[in-house]
Structure formats: structure tokens, C-alpha cells
Amino acid sequence: MKRFDQANERFEKAVRKLQDNLQYLADQDKVSDRFLNIQNQIIKALIDYQHEVITTLQAYDQLAIELSLKGSAGYHQLLNDKESLEAICIIHGIMDFPAWIAKGNSYLVQEAICHYKNGEVQLSSSIVEMIRGLEAGEREQLWRILNKNVQARWERELAEMKMNAYA
């Protein structure tokens, strides 16, 4: 892979040099707009091709990893753990599990840290749908109950901020 990385780096330098040379010719009014457009389309096609090659290689690398793991006990344990986690989510009314997984690990970890620090939880989509199905009065009463602790915490934090501001 080292040779590919070196070749890729040389390719990127060559494309940048080509763009710089083209810009120089354009600044000197040495070429027509039509010629510039054609050259820019060629450069764009080269860059698109490079990105596609890199994306394809990354996909092949991922596939190779998955295939090498497929028969292992660790792989089967991961599949079992994933299924267990999905089952726990469904039991707790989290039906949008795939949508959450699609957000990616770093987003989910940040979201979890933020919720933990703020002492908050996020209601599952199925619970929110149940609440939306309630009559307006019941819905407002339930939201008021659910938000009661949050409101009290906000008021405490605001009071602390005021005290710190005057101290």
C-alpha cells in the first residue's frame, strides 16, 4: 500500500501543478476560455477518478477485513452482541435503531456524553409517537411532568449563574 500512497501523492502534486500552470496561462491571457473549460473538465475527471479509486480500495479493504473475520468466534460474538442490542432497543421502544447507527460512532458518543453530563435522556421515537397520540390535555400534562426535573435543574443553574455573577 506504501507504493500506492506514494503514487497517489505524486498524482496529487501533478494535478496541483497542472492547475497552477493553467491558472498562470489564464492570468497571462495566453489561452481561450474554451480551452480553460476543457482543461478544467479534464482535471475534474482525473480528480473524480482518483476519489473513486480510493473509495473502491477502502471498500475492498473493509470487505477483506469482514471476510477474514467471518469464520472467527469473535465475529460471531459481535453479531450476537449486535442482535442483543437491537433486541434491547426494540424492547425499550427504540425502533429507529438503524437510523441511530447510521449517525456514526463519534456522533453517538458525543451525544451520549452530552446527555449524561446534562442528566438528560432522549425519548424513543415510539414513545414520542404514543405521546403525540394522546389527547391535547393529556399530552400537555405528560410533557409537563417529563420536563419538570429539567425545568428545576435549569432554574438551579440560572440561580447559580446569577450568584456567581454577583460574587
pLDDT (tens digit per residue) in 82-106: 889 888 888 888 887 778 888 888 8
C-beta of residue 124 within 8 angstroms of C-beta of residue 95: yes
- Of 25-29, 39-43, 72-76, 133-137, least confident by mean pLDDT is 72-76
- Of 13-17, 52-56, 71-75, 85-89, least confident by mean pLDDT is 71-75
Query: Which set of grid coordinates corresponds to residue 121?
Result: 435522556
56 & 103 share domain: no
Give a yes or no: residue 157 inside a domain: yes
- For residue 167, what pLDDT is reported? 63
Return mean pLDDT, the chain.
85
d(CA 133, CA 128): 9
Give a yes or no: residue 106 inside a domain: yes
Give a yes or no: residue 89 inside a domain: no
How many separate domains does the chain show? 2
Which distant-in-sequence residues (6+ apart) come within 8 Å of 150 by Cβ? Answer: 120
- Domain ranges, residue 110: 97-166
DSSP 119-165: T-----HHHHHHHHTS-HHHHHHHHHHHHHHHHHHHHHHHHHHHHHH
